[in-house]
């Protein structure tokens, strides 16, 4: 059990060290930290550089002043305190936790609500400037502490995304939304219930600014996460499915307009995360997956784009009809060319091998086509280049197994390349992680392999 203390307790110990033991501020801090660490106390949420001369923490002072000057409505004074708060909250989680406990969230939401209402009535540069800085403060404040979000904040997010024209404010709001969704299932569900998908769709259809679109894509991906350990069952699949139905067509059309960085990789990654059902793969295919050939041709040397393209192709291959259409359209030599080009990159190789495994699964004709285009040599070369990379070795096993499982005539080609020795070497290193996959590949290659009996009876006599 991790032991914790409050900020107030820590501050008292530091001041006690100074007053009773005549220590300097630096000595008092070092001694307090040593005391707590010796007791096994977690100080990650504690501000350690306290204001030791009897003053308050700077972040607390900023919150207090902001509460006062908001009543006076002095923009210069407000901006000054907002700058201080943003700077303090950007330091570490301890400063953000302290600001949250001191009421920073409510102060910022009040200010944001006031300025947003004014902007809806009358566009004013000063209001936009203050509103943008408030949003930047909220982004900093709620980084890794999304629990602060309440229903009022959710309503503001929805209203700003639906009504705001200023793209800097839109970008900041999307960043704030992203922070609210990380490791917080209930925030995601509440935002989803507010029909935020329609707001995001509107941005995708109406905006051309890469920064706005990039932040929008990040928000979409956050709804597909299952990262909140406090929730036993999340709604990741439901969010992905409904967002897929709503957004995959406009995302595919947007991909056709952005075949090069900076957006192309994020678009393909986002689309891949939404392809959680058979009919969604068909939807994207009907919109035109030929764009993938253009993307790969335009970014042949870009390893990041090639990696995301392989993720998207793998996801689309979840639909057997789409998979066959991809192969008929000529994707096989392109995939092999990409694998050969980026074989020195472990991540790109791993995703490319996974893509080959998906395209050859239960498809002997596809396996034959990959063989004719020289994929065995490329697979073996990747295994040789990355002998210690578990993901490369595992995905290579999957690709090999899927290729030979229904086409044992391919075995001879792999044996000529020395595949058995490579697989045995991988088994020696990774048997505890995915030994079954390696043995399955060896078995389908007709190699000598000892298969473990997964379950045996205990020899108990059955009573009649």
Minimum mean pLDDT range among 117-121, 283-287, 387-391: 117-121
Residue pLDDT, tens place only, 209-236: 999 999 999 999 999 999 999 999 999 9
In 3D space, the residue among 414, 441, 446 whose CA is nearest the CA of residue 430 turns out to be: 441
- Kindly indicate the confidence band of residue 30, based on its pLDDT and cuts at 50, 70 and 90: confident
| Confidence grade of residue 53 (pLDDT, cut at 50, 70, 90) | very low
pLDDT on residue 121: 87
pTM, 2 dp: 0.90
pLDDT given at position 2:
63
pLDDT more than 90, % of the chain: 75
> Is the N-terminal amide bond of 262 cis, ω within 30° of 0?
yes
Average pLDDT, the chain: 92
Banded pLDDT at 395 (limits 50, 70, 90): very high
* Residue 186: pLDDT over 60: yes
- Of the pLDDT bands very low, low, confident and very high (cuts 50, 70, 90), residue 29 is confident
Average pLDDT, integer, range 391-416: 95
- What does the pLDDT read at residue 50? 60
Q: Place 1 in a pLDDT band, splitting at 50, 70 and 90.
A: low
How do residues 308-351 score in pLDDT, each as one tens digit? 999 999 999 999 999 999 999 999 999 999 999 999 999 999 99
What mean pLDDT comes out for the span 184-198? 97
Report, at the CATH architecture level, how domain 330-447 is classified.
Alpha Horseshoe (1.25)
Which pLDDT value is given to residue 49? 73
For the cut 90, the answer to whether the pLDDT of residue 15 exceeds it is: no
Is it the case that residue 56 has pLDDT exceeding 80? no
pLDDT of residue 52: 46
In this prediction, residue 35 carries a pLDDT of: 81
Give CA separation, 441 vs 78, 155, 274, in Å.
Answer: 66, 54, 31
In this prediction, residue 33 has a pLDDT band, given cuts at 50, 70 and 90, of confident
pLDDT at 3 over 80: no
């Amino acid at each position: 059990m991790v032991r914790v203390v409050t900020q107030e307790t820590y501050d008292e110990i530091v001041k006690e060290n100074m007053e009773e033991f005549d220590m300097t501020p630096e000595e008092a801090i070092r001694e307090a930290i040593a005391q707590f660490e010796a007791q096994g106390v977690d100080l990650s949420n504690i501000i350690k550089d306290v204001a030791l001369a009897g003053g308050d923490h700077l972040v607390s002072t900023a919150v207090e002043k902001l509460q006062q000057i908001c009543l006076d409505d002095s923009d210069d004074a407000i901006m000054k305190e907002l700058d201080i708060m943003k700077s303090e909250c950007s330091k570490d989680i301890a400063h953000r936790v302290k600001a949250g406990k001191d009421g920073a969230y409510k102060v910022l939401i009040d200010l944001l609500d006031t300025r947003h209402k004014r902007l809806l009535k009358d566009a004013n540069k000063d209001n936009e400037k203050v509103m943008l800085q408030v949003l930047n403060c909220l982004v900093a404040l709620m980084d890794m502490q999304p629990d602060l979000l309440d229903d009022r904040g959710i309503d503001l997010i929805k209203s700003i995304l639906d009504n705001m024209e200023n793209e800097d404010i839109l970008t900041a709001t999307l960043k704030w939304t992203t922070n609210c969704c990380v490791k917080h299932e209930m925030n995601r569900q509440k935002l989803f219930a507010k029909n935020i998908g329609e707001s995001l769709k509107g941005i995708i259809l109406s905006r051309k600014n890469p920064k706005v679109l990039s932040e929008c894509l990040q928000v979409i991906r956050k709804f597909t996460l299952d990262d909140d350990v406090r929730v036993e069952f999340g709604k990741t699949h439901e969010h992905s499915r409904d967002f897929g139905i709503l957004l995959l067509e406009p995302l595919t059309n947007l991909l056709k307009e952005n075949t090069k960085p900076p957006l192309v990789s994020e678009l393909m990654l986002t689309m891949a995360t939404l392809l959680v059902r058979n009919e969604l793969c068909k939807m994207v295919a009907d919109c035109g997956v030929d764009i993938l050939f253009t993307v790969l041709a335009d970014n042949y040397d870009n390893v990041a784009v090639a990696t995301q393209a392989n993720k998207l192709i793998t996801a689309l291959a979840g639909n057997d009809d789409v998979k066959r259409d991809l192969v008929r359209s000529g994707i096989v030599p392109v995939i092999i060319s990409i694998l050969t080009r980026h074989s020195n990159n472990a991540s790109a190789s791993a995703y490319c091998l996974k893509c080959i495994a998906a395209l050859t699964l239960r498809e002997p004709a596809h396996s034959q086509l990959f063989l004719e285009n020289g994929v065995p040599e490329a697979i073996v070369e990747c295994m040789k280049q990355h002998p210690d990379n578990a993901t490369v070795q595992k995905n290579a096993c999957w690709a090999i197994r899927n290729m030979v499982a229904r086409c044992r005539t391919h075995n001879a080609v792999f044996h000529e390349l020395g595949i058995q020795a490579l697989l045995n070497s991988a088994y020696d290193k990774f048997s505890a992680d995915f030994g079954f996959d390696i043995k399955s590949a060896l078995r389908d290659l007709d190699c000598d392999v000892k298969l473990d009996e997964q379950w045996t009876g205990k020899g108990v006599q059955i009573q009649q």
